[in-house]
Chain A
Amino acid sequence: MAVQALDAARLPVDWAKLVQKLALATALFVVAYGVVPAYASGYLVEAILLPFLALSLAAVGLNLLTGYCGQLSLGSSAFMAVGAFGAYNFNLRVEGLPLAVTMILAGISAAGFGVVFGLPSLRLRGFYLAVSTLAAQFFVQWALTKFGWFSNDNPSGVISAPHLAVAGLSLDSATGRYLLSVTTVMVLTALVWRLVNSATGRNFIAVRDNETAARVIGVPVLRTKLLAFAISSFIIGIAGVLWAFTYLRTVEPAGFNLDRSFQILFIIIIGGLASIRGAFLGAAFIVVLPLFLSRLGAFLFGGLFDSGVLDMSQRIVLGALIIIFLIAEPSGLSALFDRLKRRIGSRSS
């Protein structure tokens, strides 16, 4: 009922804003499918865009769970691992399975895992839940190392990506992998955007803001939480497929360790909780800035210090920058971005 009331109270459409948004979307498409494939260097695609896209998608997934639904999770990289190893095995063991189906099946496997490890959320909250999701992290890594079947009995337990093709078209080149990655991210992000603006999305927020109140107004709290775990893990699982198949092209279980889970959590904290744009801004910050600092450092001081000293000082700079950013805007880069936009807007008018 509450949801219907909200729908009825919608504001009249703001045409100017709509046109602005449409123009922005068009520009995004032109850049993603025109400018980048045509002009971007191999380095930009392989070392920056591919990890950026995979981590952004994982952050979008986690933001759904943590940012919108309020369930803190430290199991993200386990769900990525399930997705990556799932896709590898579906592709290996089912002959002629189309890539899209492989990815969806991998996502569904991760979603299944997500629901299982989301069950404690029915009883636990906050930090206690975060600690219980650690179990996913350790269990998945242990299982993948323990049972050779998952990595096709490869003696060192490392999987390598298969040939990627859609409708007979090879996507093995850097540009091909980029296009696969960017399309997947766009489609899933669009779906998530729809979701958070739907009744289910509002249920997520209701559960986050006040679980008891949500229950009182008739939100099915248990189902909502498990749904959030399922959808979030589905998306994170597909991010894992992108990470393994389009970016690294090889994966070992140790590659999906706790550090990666923390990294994804930091992305959404720095980028802004409950904001899809924040996931992308945060991922850009985490992926691009360290590279930028490392190249800046090598350029300025390369001859004077060895690479170890430079790397240590970059960490200090990065840490300091994170603190400065969060002091300037505790709600993350997304909010900072809005402030920037307003300032530019007020200056030009």
Chain B
Amino acid sequence: MTFFSHLRKAAIATAFVLGATAVHAEEQYFPLQSYRVGPYAAGGTGFFGGFIDYLNLINIRDGGVNGVKLAWSEGETQYEVEKGVEVYERLKSNPGIAAWNPLSVGIAYAMIDRITDDKVPLITINHGRTDTTDGRVFPYVFPLLLNPYSETSGIVNYIASKEGGLDKLKGKNIVVLYHGSPYGKETIPIYELLSQKYGFELSQIEVPHPGNEQQAQWLTIRREHPDYVVLRGWGVMNPVALKTAQKTGFPADHIIGNVWSNSEEDVIPAGDAAKGYTAITTQASGERYPVVQEIVKTVYGDGKGNLEDKSRIGSVYHNLGIVNGILNVEAVRIAQAKFGNRTLTGDEVRWGFEHLKLNPARVEALGAKDLFHSINVSWDNHEGDGYVTFQQWDGKKWNVVSDWIAPDWKLLRPIIEKSSEAYAKEKGIKIRTAEDADAVVSN
């Protein structure tokens, strides 16, 4: 009896609750589909922490971008596609949306049709669907800095530079240990292509998800006796790979990690076994860069820092979030130069991203010299020719051990175009021209 009366009371009380976000004049809004709980929380808290820290820095230090304040709110996705879609639908009614940054391949895929209808950019920095690089077919999707194919090419070029040139790759033996998921399998054809082109022997070995048992795979590797092992892992698979490698006697300094096997969270649990392990990255880690220093001073000094654990400032994911913040804010700034210093529409910000050209001098002016190299996005190249570098784990921190390396974009472009054109045909999408890209919706 009382149960129902409680129920009724609760229903009445909660009927009042339907939150709406307050509207301010001249604000550019970033909806954040973050994940702070669940299996990938380490990546989520670092990345979104860094992103928010940079937006805060711009607001506190500069009063926004040319007087336009930056605003954001978060919705928790736990890295799940359904939750990501729900948060998208919840936050998309907010005014002045600049861009979406879900940091999840699954959520990004589910958003492609939706953001294309809404004409708002979708940023998938360092990940995402490779063929969205082709801006002719995907006008609103930007896999900034590094798509999976470029990552593959960058890793092979790095191995070549260690061996003394691409011609020295001939006859070398490389094993790719990949996560048994769509993400892990995405680069299989590219490794095969590069192996044929440069004449190295290749075997690709799958580790079933989640990858907490790899004895069999590493015994196979020991039999193969490869020169290098590329670790294309995710989550718990990475420390387990490093530990098992140590057990089977494979040297860690001949294991090269990909861009989702390159964080502190991947190596610290492996302890000693990770010493000497090298991994690719688009953004160096550490606190020494001026922009990171300013975030420490201005944002954390003001008590507005987003990371709870201050020792994670300057970690791989935190710095990736900061670089992501720089790219988003600069796209807004570039679009403002054309359309005026006001709240921009999503399509105007899209134009900004398509003209996002930051050369090394501009990167230095932003306080990010050596943090990342440069970016050069155009209407048909949505990746923007990002450079990669390699870091080695010394047991305590990552140290940069290479120059900035360029992936072989010319080789990859035709493969990307073939895939995107097939997608355009399947979906009946008209291939965009440069004129189409300059037609901007401004209301």
Within 8 A of B (CB), among A228-281: 247-250, 252-255
Please determine whether A160 and B112 come into contact, CB atoms closer than 8 angstroms: yes
- Any chain B CB within 8 A of the CB of A295? yes
Which size bracket describes the interface of A in this complex?
35 or more
- Any chain B CB within 8 A of the CB of A188? no
The residue from A248, A300, A308, A328 contacting B85, defined by CB atoms under 8 A apart: A248
Collect the chain B residues with CB atoms within 8 Å of residue A47's CB.
85-86, 89-90
Among A51, A158, A296, A312, max chain B CB count under 10 A is at A158
Collect the chain B residues with CB atoms within 8 Å of residue A306's CB.
36, 74
Please determine whether A308 and B76 come into contact, CB atoms closer than 8 angstroms: yes
The residue from A156, A253, A299, A340 contacting B105, defined by CB atoms under 8 A apart: A156
Within 8 A of A (CB), among B151-206: 180-183, 185-187, 189
Collect the chain B residues with CB atoms within 8 Å of residue A46's CB.
85, 89
Secondary structure class of chain A's binding surface, majority of residues = helix
Please determine whether A43 and B112 come into contact, CB atoms closer than 8 angstroms: no
Collect the chain B residues with CB atoms within 8 Å of residue A183's CB.
none
Please determine whether B182 and A307 come into contact, CB atoms closer than 8 angstroms: no
- Tell me the complex Cα distance, A294–B89, Å: 14
- Tell me the complex Cα distance, A310–B78, Å: 12
Closest A residue to B19 by CB, please name it. A299
Collect the chain A residues with CB atoms within 8 Å of residue B180's CB.
145
Measured CB to CB, the closest approach of chain A to B38, in angstroms, equals 8
Please determine whether A294 and B85 come into contact, CB atoms closer than 8 angstroms: no
Please determine whether B110 and A248 come into contact, CB atoms closer than 8 angstroms: yes
- Any chain A CB within 8 A of the CB of B227? no
Within 8 A of A (CB), among B346-366: none
Please determine whether B185 and A250 come into contact, CB atoms closer than 8 angstroms: no
- Any chain A CB within 8 A of the CB of B12? no
- Any chain B CB within 8 A of the CB of A98? no
Collect the chain B residues with CB atoms within 8 Å of residue A157's CB.
182, 185
- Tell me the complex Cα distance, A47–B88, Å: 9
- Tell me the complex Cα distance, A143–B189, Å: 19
- Tell me the complex Cα distance, A302–B3, Å: 29
Measured CB to CB, the closest approach of chain A to B152, in angstroms, equals 11
Collect the chain B residues with CB atoms within 8 Å of residue A292's CB.
14
Closest B residue to A295 by CB, please name it. B19
Please determine whether A308 and B41 come into contact, CB atoms closer than 8 angstroms: yes
Collect the chain B residues with CB atoms within 8 Å of residue A92's CB.
426
Q: Identify the 9 closest CB pairs spanning chains A and B, nearest first.
A: A308-B36, A157-B182, A299-B19, A47-B89, A307-B76, A156-B182, A47-B86, A311-B76, A46-B89
Task: Write 23 A-B pairs (CB below 8 A) sorted by A numbering.
Answer: A43-B90, A47-B85, A155-B148, A155-B182, A155-B186, A156-B105, A163-B428, A249-B113, A249-B114, A250-B113, A254-B106, A291-B86, A295-B19, A296-B14, A299-B18, A306-B74, A307-B34, A308-B36, A308-B45, A311-B36, A311-B37, A312-B37, A343-B4
Q: Please list the residues of chain A having a beta carbon within 8 angstroms of any beta carbon in chain B.
A: 42-43, 46-47, 51, 92, 145, 152, 155-158, 160-163, 247-250, 252-255, 291-292, 294-296, 298-300, 302, 306-308, 310-312, 328, 340, 343
Q: Please list the residues of chain B having a beta carbon within 8 angstroms of any beta carbon in chain A.
A: 3-4, 14, 17-19, 34, 36-37, 41, 45, 74-76, 78, 81-82, 85-86, 89-90, 92-93, 105-106, 109-110, 112-114, 129-130, 148, 180-183, 185-187, 189, 209, 419, 426-428
